[in-house]
Amino acid sequence: MSQDRILHIEKLRAISILLVLLYHLEIPGFKYGYLGVDLFFVISGYLMAMLYGEIRTWDEAKIFFRKRFARILPAYFTLIIVTIAVAILVLLPHEIELVMTHSLWSVLLLPNFGFWLDASYFEYLYFRPLLNLWSLGVELQFYLLFPLLLFVRRNTAHMFALIGIVSIVLYAITSLIDSNTAFFMLPGRLWEFFAGILAANLRINQVARQKFWGLLAITSLIAFLLALSFFEIDYLFFVSLLVVVLAAITINFGFSTGLESNLVSRSLVLIGQYSYSIYLVHFPVIVFANYLPFGGTILQANSLLKLSAILGLIAVLSYLLYNFVETRTRSKFNGVQLSIASACAVVLVVIMLNPAVSLGKRKFSIVELTIYNALEDRGSYQCEGVSILNAPGAESCRLDRLSSPLRNFMLIGDSHADAIKDALLEATERAGNSLIYYKEYRAISESFVGNEVLTEALDQQVDTIVIHQLGQADEGQAIENFTRLANEVAIQVVVISPVPSYGFSIPEKLFRDYTENGVLTLIGDFSTEHESRVAGLKSRLDIIQSNYDNFHWFDASDLLCDQNCYISNPDGGPLYYDSNHLTLTGAERLSAIFEEINELEN
């Protein structure tokens, strides 16, 4: 490639990393800056086609793998090891464990799989300083396929085109039904690399007048992304499609930022050269700079001083990583050495998994460790780890293992139902009853009447449906409507009223109060404050109970509050793992209710 074209690609890399960086700093106007990663994928496809598009033999493929992995892995592994070291020094044990888990996925070159697997309703609780590595996982997996893709293109051009079409259709469909899969996994991203390969195949000789079209494309792309910040877009397929098309046009025609000696051009080229190191270090720096115990992954720079400090640290660490690791290792390793280094990284992380958590625990007292256990004091997520009734696509799963249950109960609601299901399961199994869990978080409300739930309950021969959810404005009327429908098909309805909720993370408050003052906080609110929030709902539940023989309700606050509502046990065990979801310890407080439910006459 010509020097002109190399500079042009470096500038595009700079624009891509700036978009991602400003997005992660939550700078206003860059809400969709993460689409800069899509630009990286197009650039990568283009560069692979331009630099290695003539791979024809296994020896040439081995040379390609060595060069690519020597370019990526040394700095990649360095970042992971440094992050682990910082995590052990700074984080809580459960956060260290999460970092170690994702470090293992990352050294296995599958970071995107790790983040895809733990994507859930509760991911806001997770501290994930290595989250940005997901895109490198996609890229590394593309490199592994690249020689094979070239073989397909040479021998069956139509098949190569079909792979690209399937990928783009797959991305469009999965964006609708499972956005996490579309986002994290290579099959739905492959078409973006193909766009870069196509740009390489259709490249046009660079002359000044043609660069106008490239400049127009990149200017339109930036303006488009900035304009998007004023809108809420749920389905991003068409946005990604336009971003990729504009990126391919930009690559094809090139663009100029004036004389290459001017400040803008020199700055963009410099940032482009450092873009890989910047991408590696920027996310952990931002996340660690915003770290709060139990706070999850916080991305922001809420003051000019903090923004300056974060940018300064990113600049210093990027400089060190680029000059002392990235540039010094690009041509130093052969294939055998890279394989040995990769195996050593895997072994190191595996060996350190438990010791890292143990080292983290030594920093804390027994009470502090009891508090930190809040995030571990939870059951499985939804139907995770249990067999699904009927078929993989069934609406419910059976939680118990009884061979001949006396009765069948079904639990439905939002994430609060998920929080109590394990404690309710213990009570139903002791009584010889079965517990079936409705898989989706579906709170009974004006927008969800519950006909689907009743259909599933009838299919599974359920005689009692238990509802537990966070209180909503229209919940009382919706529950009455649901009870009426259930009465028509001879199904009992039981409601457990909402638990107290708070405007702060309870584990974080307990931990902060104890570490700062040596005081264990037991009380969250006066019971009158909680009662004022749910008084309307409770009055409506009383009316429903008087009007329908198939309806019963139980007051959760009776067991979580007296004159005060409690947030922890005297030993420091939190009753909640965030601001409003019960831990297993907290759910056990409701055991008396669960026992009564099992004693209700059918």
Who's near 106: CB < 8 A, 6+ residues apart?
76, 80, 114, 130, 133, 137
Measure the CA–CA gap between 455 and 451, rounded to whole angstroms: 6
Tokens of 309: 């400090």
Please say whether the beta carbons of 380 and 344 come within 8 A: no
- Confidence (pLDDT) at 472: 66
- Confidence (pLDDT) at 385: 67
- Confidence (pLDDT) at 121: 62
CA 234, 279, 123, 35: dihedral to nearest 10 degrees? 0
Of the candidates 130, 137, 84, which has an alpha carbon nearest to the alpha carbon of residue 108?
137
Tokens of 382: 């939804």
- Confidence (pLDDT) at 214: 85
- Confidence (pLDDT) at 205: 47
* Residues of each domain in the chain carrying CATH 3.40.50.1110: 374-599
Measure the CA–CA gap between 527 and 413, rounded to whole angstroms: 24
User: If one looks up domain 374-599 in CATH, what number appears?
Assistant: 3.40.50.1110
375 — phi, psi (to 5°)? -75, -20
- Confidence (pLDDT) at 387: 55
Burial 186-213 (b: 16+ CB within 10 A, else e): bbbbbbbbbbbbbbbeebeebeeeebeb
Exposed, middle or buried, 342 (CB in 10 Å: 0-12/13-18/19+)? middle
- Confidence (pLDDT) at 15: 96
- Confidence (pLDDT) at 373: 82
DSSP 3-state assignment of 404? coil
Do the strands 464-468 and 523-526 form a parallel or antiparallel pair, or are they unpaired? Answer: unpaired
Of the candidates 374, 349, 377, which has an alpha carbon nearest to the alpha carbon of residue 88?
349
Residue stretches of the chain with pLDDT short of 70? 1-5, 119-122, 203-210, 385-393, 472-474
Of the candidates 468, 388, 459, which has an alpha carbon nearest to the alpha carbon of residue 423?
468
Measure the CA–CA gap between 344 and 597, rounded to whole angstroms: 55
> Would you say the pTM of this structure is higher than 0.95?
no
- Confidence (pLDDT) at 529: 79
Tokens of 44: 């990568």
Measure the CA–CA gap between 455 and 453, rounded to whole angstroms: 5
Who's near 203: CB < 8 A, 6+ residues apart?
50, 251, 252
- Confidence (pLDDT) at 564: 87
395 — phi, psi (to 5°)? -80, -15
Residue identified by tokens 């930036």 is 222
- Confidence (pLDDT) at 390: 44
Measure the CA–CA gap between 71 and 322, rounded to whole angstroms: 11
Alpha-carbon distances, residue 578 vs 7, 505, 559 (angstroms): 49, 5, 19
- Confidence (pLDDT) at 151: 95
